[in-house]
Structure 1
Amino acid sequence: MEKFRTIRAERVDGVLRITLNRPERRNALSPELQDELLDAVREAQYDTSIRVILIRGAGPSFCAGYDLGPDPSAPPRADYKMPETIEEDVALCMTFGEKWGRLWHSRIPVIAQVHGYCVAGGTDLALHCDMIIAADDARLGFPPVRSQGGPPTHMWVYHAGPQWTKRLLLTGDTISGKKAAEVGLVLESVPAEELDDHALALATRVSHIGHDLLAHNKRIVNLAVELMGRGTMQTLAAIHDTLGHNAPEAFEFNERLRTDGLRAAVAERDGKFA
C-alpha cells in the first residue's frame, strides 16, 4: 500500500483503514486522491481477508470538497480539461457519479468516519459509503449551492428524506454531526475524542461476518435503493449541476473568483448567511 501518495492504507485485522492524507488542503479531493482512493477500494474488495473498509481524514477535517486549485506536486494529467460546452460540462459532472458509484457498489461494506468539515464534494464521498459515523461537532453541508450549482451526485434524499434535503440544499447551511444523526444524514454521532475507537469498533464488528455474506447482504440493500431510482438520479444530478453552473449567480461568483480569489469570493457569498 506504500505506492499511494495522497492516502494512507493500513490493515487492522479484517479492516482496511484508509486515511485521506492531504491535511494541508483539508483533504480536498484532487483527481489524484480520488483515483488513489478508488484504486485502494477496488483492490480491497477482491481480497477475501478484508471484510470492511473504513475511510477517515488526516488533520482537522474529513474533507473540504473538490480541490479547486492546482497541485504543483501532482503528476501531470492528460485526461482532464475544462469544459467548453454545456454537453462537456454535463459529461464532466457525470464522471463524479460514476466514480463514487464504484464506492457505493464496492462488494464489501464501506464506512466513513467524519470529523471537522465534510462539505461540498466531501459529502459526495461520504454519502456513497454504506454507513457514516460522525463526530458530534463535525460540520456537514453543501455551501456551493449558494453560488456554483448543486451536488454533481445526489444521495441526500436517500439518507435524509426530502424535507431535510431541501432544508440543506436550499440554504447551503451546514449542520453538526449530532444534528445530522438526528435527521438520518449519518448513522450516528459520538464525541470527537471517541470517534476513532467507535468507528473502528463498528468496522471490526462488521468484519466478523464472512466476506461473501457481507457482499450478499450489502447488495440486496443497494438493489432496493436502485429500485428507488438512485442510478437515474445521478444522471439527473449531473444535468442539474450543469444548469446551476449557468445561473446568473454562478457567473457573478466566478467573476469575483477570477478578480479577487477564492477566499474573497466565498466570504462575500457566505457573509449574509453568517
Structure 2
Amino acid sequence: MAKWLSSTDCIAFDIQDRVARLTLNNPARRNALSWDMLVELRAALLEADDLREVAVIVLEGAGKDFCAGYDMQAAYARYAKEDAARDAYRTGSASFDDDAWKLERFQELLRTAFTVHKPVIAKVHGNCLAGGTDLALYCDLVIAADDARIGFPATRAMGSPPNHMWFYNVGPQWAKRLLLSGDTLDGRDAARIGLVVASAPPERLEDEVMTLARRLATIDPDLLATQKRIVNLALELAGAGTLARLAAEMDSRAHLTRAKRDFDADTARHGFKEAARRRDAPFGDGVVKPSW
C-alpha cells in the first residue's frame, strides 16, 4: 500500500482500498480551521485527486469532533500581526473590501473539495459547527453520527456563512430556520431534512462511511468524475458560485453590525469561549427538533 510521504502538521493522510483518508489532525483545538490547516488540506486533496491508486476521498476529524469551526484564536492573532504591516499589505479588517478579500481567499481553499474531480465523503462526528459546516457542505456526500451537532451558531452575533451551501442542500425555509436562529441539528435530524445524506449510530459511523466509499471505489474514477462534475455544473448553473461570492460580501457586511462589535468587545473582556457562552445562553440547548 502506497502512502503519501508529505504528511503535514495539520493533516493525516492514508490510503486503504483505493480510498484516501484525510484527517483534520488538531484535536486539541477541536480541528478548528486555521489558514495553515486549510492550505495543507488543499494540498492533500489535490494530491489525492492526482494519485491513480485513489478513487474516493474520505474527510474526517481526529479526536472528539469533525470540526468545531474557524480557529478564532489564530484569526485574532493573525489580524494583530497584519495590523503591524498595514502600510504594505491588506490587513483583512481595515475596510469592507479588505474583509471580503480575506474571506474570498479562505473560500478558495475551502472550495477544493468541491472542485477536485474525485468524490469526497465527509465523515462527521461530534461538533460540525460554523466553518466546519462550510467545509462539510463543500464535500459531495456527508454522513454523520446520529448524535453529531451540526449548525452555525455564529450567526447569532458574528456574521453569516461565507460559503453558503445551505440553500442548495435544504432549500430556503430550512436555511432560514437554521441561520436566523443559529440553532443546531443532531445528525439524525440533519439526515431527515437532507442536510446530510445519511446518519448512523456513532459506533457504526465508520462502517457506514467506508462501506459507501469502497462501493464507489469499485467504479472507474473517470466515470465517478463524470457524475460528480455534471451535478456540480448544475449547482453552478443554479448560481452556487455566484452565491458564494455574494456570501463572502454579506459576511463582510455582517461584520459591520452592532452585534459583531459587541461580540468583539465581549471577547476582548472575557475571552472567546466566555463570549460565545454568553452569546448562546439565551437559546438554551439551541437544538432544532423537527416535527414529523
Give TM-score, length-normalised by structure 1: 0.95
Give matches, 1:78-93, under 5 Å. Answer: 81-93=91-103
Aligned to 1:31: 35
Shift of 1:23: 0.6
When structure 1 is superposed on structure 2, of 99-108 and 145-154 the one drifting more is: 99-108
Q: Which one of 5, 10, 18 corresponds to residue 9 of structure 2?
A: 5
Shift of 1:205: 0.5
Aligned to 1:246: 256
Aligned to 1:112: 122
Cα distance 1:188–1:80, how it changes in 2: closer, same or farther (>3 A)?
farther
Identity %: 46
Structure 1 CA distance, aligned partners of 2:115 and 2:178?
Answer: 26
Any runs of at least 4 consecutive aligned residues in structure 1 with deviations exceeding 6 A, and if so which? 76-80
Aligned to 1:228: 238
Shift of 1:195: 0.5
CA RMSD of aligned residues (A): 1.8
1:96 touches 1:153 (CA, 8 Å); kept in 2? Answer: no
Structure 2 CA distance, aligned partners of 1:222 and 1:151?
Answer: 20
List gaps (5 residues or longer) in structure 2. 76-80, 285-292
Structure 1 CA distance, aligned partners of 2:91 and 2:31?
Answer: 22
Cα distance 1:64–1:80, how it changes in 2: closer, same or farther (>3 A)?
farther
Asked whether 1:68 is paired with 2:78, we answer no
Shift of 1:83: 2.0
Asked whether 1:261 is paired with 2:254, we answer no
Structure 2 CA distance, aligned partners of 1:39 and 1:97?
Answer: 15
Residues 97-123 of structure 1 show CA distances to partners (whole Å, capped at 9, x for unaligned) of 222222101100000000000000000
List gaps (5 residues or longer) in structure 1. none
Q: When the two structures are aligned, how many residues end up with a matched partner?
A: 271
The 3-state SS of whatever aligns with 2:72 is: coil
The 3-state SS of whatever aligns with 1:257 is: helix
Aligned to 1:172: 182
Shift of 1:221: 0.7
Aligned to 1:96: 106
Structure 1 CA distance, aligned partners of 2:105 and 2:181?
Answer: 25
Shift of 1:207: 0.5
Structure 1 CA distance, aligned partners of 2:32 and 2:271?
Answer: 17
Structure 2 CA distance, aligned partners of 1:174 and 1:80?
Answer: 34
Residues 159-194 of structure 1 show CA distances to partners (whole Å, capped at 9, x for unaligned) of 111111111000000110000000000000000000
Q: Which one of 156, 160, 166 corresponds to residue 166 of structure 2?
A: 156
Structure 2 CA distance, aligned partners of 1:80 and 1:175?
Answer: 37
Structure 1 CA distance, aligned partners of 2:140 and 2:247?
Answer: 20
